Chain A
């Protein structure tokens, strides 16, 4: 189960999406999300599905990887769908005792599922095609102006890249602790939700203790390698803004504009 978490995973590759500048991709994701939340009706949704499909095709990320990334949020998607289905007023279609499913509810549920799915698929494309270093560097530069008002931008970017770096390590560790506890009779898979949540408690304690120990060792290792904040720090991989990045931004802006126009005409 834990292996399904693909958050922050990077698939090395050489597609156009991989070669775009990280800053460009960050801006594109913002535009994409804005467009997604502007879309209101069949026309604009269909358009966004085409756009998402095109993005996936361009990134050359296997569809399987994207579906796998969606698995952990399946519960949220289903829950949203059910809530929308049952609690939207309108023309009844099916009656289940006190609950009624309305036509409007069904449509809205479908829209919600599509929206969340596309939202996640689209943002996953960013982390799938951008190396974490480039991603955090990009964020650091984009938010750079905030340094003037003493926002610790570099520190936040560093923390993010560390968090991404340690996700697989901590997942491995969680698996190990779980196996060790299962071997001694712990039960994580049966019982009520509350019982299962309780069973996780003895898992979290050793995990936290070890995470703190790791953090301490990591800090010593970083200091040993002369880390002293971003003062005087250089980068091996410089970000390069190319013509294709400008083009991609224009394209992204055009998509957003198109959705705005569609909204205006009620599509």
Chain B
């Protein structure tokens, strides 16, 4: 506990607009998410809230924004203690939160979703008022979205922009953003940060939840670090350094060096020699075209090959056909034309099960929708996709629970999954542990090809770095890996070759060394040199 934090607690700043005092949260399953946490938000500041997954960042802000009641403790405003029984009440008070997983009605348009938080704006004539408001906000913030398409048809990044616009439209005094940049492009991140600074100048307060050190260092005035449900420290920007923050986050005397390096922009590739693919071709794709949900062709003629012992990374802004490409290669979406094969066996328009039989592991971009059956137990989830293996199937198709239990326990041990037991529902795990479960399950297939889509999205440094190391290990073990990620550092540091995808096409393919950040930014924005 640093001296800065104790000082601020003894003497509350007069400019505080909200104080969380001694917040403790115990979930019904007994998990202690927060223990005696104090947090102060001052007017006109950006407060960076740092912490690993499961540290309690989201829980704390959910309590502040009225989504969860605290088990103990209170939230105090200058007018006295406040207690919100719903996010709606918090919003009316001037506190709005943009969640990492969105609270949008998929079948409604952006305007209709925004109208939902404006009581009395539910009738079509009044949508016009909301539309004008949204258009004004879009012009100010640079957060552009299509207004008349059901939001479920929008890309994840666009959906998030709708969420931000929704909260901004209520003219909040305190804006809470949970990992807002994880789905944005570098350009969009700059725009968002510019907009947040603008908000700060207007005297508004912002809590920025993130695990990216770069972001808090670039933007925050003060930084609070949570570790395992407790406040690990509170620093001003001047007191903060990447090393110090990382140390507070992970709680080790010497922070894991690689973790810090990756966060501040240095790459694995710079530390070691990238290994050029020299094995035989495993996954080969030629002139592949795939239809999208909205656009006729989301993937417009893509060709590439992935060799044994090679990671091909696909960089690019989300929504440029990466998802559709992965879905076509894993049997989840019908392709329109072209060819794709694994070791010469055609895989286009086959069932996922047939494709898995060829030795494909798929780490999907959406953990909740694809990767896990959330109400299922860990044990049940640990065999999803491999449940028909002889190992788990006895006479009469009976599940061999003993072996399944042994399997899931070995995954828990091997991949360090934090869970209350093998019979706990997957829903009860934190995001990082859910992802470890998926990655563990997929790697346990002993695959020839690994298709990993956004494998570290939303994860804390430790978990993300661990999963990256696993991918590198698998590559060194001779697997062919296709890595799709919106995290530029991740793609550049892990890949042997990088392809930049824009508008359903590859803008360029080359070794990571051939791309500097400016060039890749241009390519991702659709500007070829």
Q: Specify whether A and B are partners.
A: no
> Residues on B close to A: CB < 8 A?
none
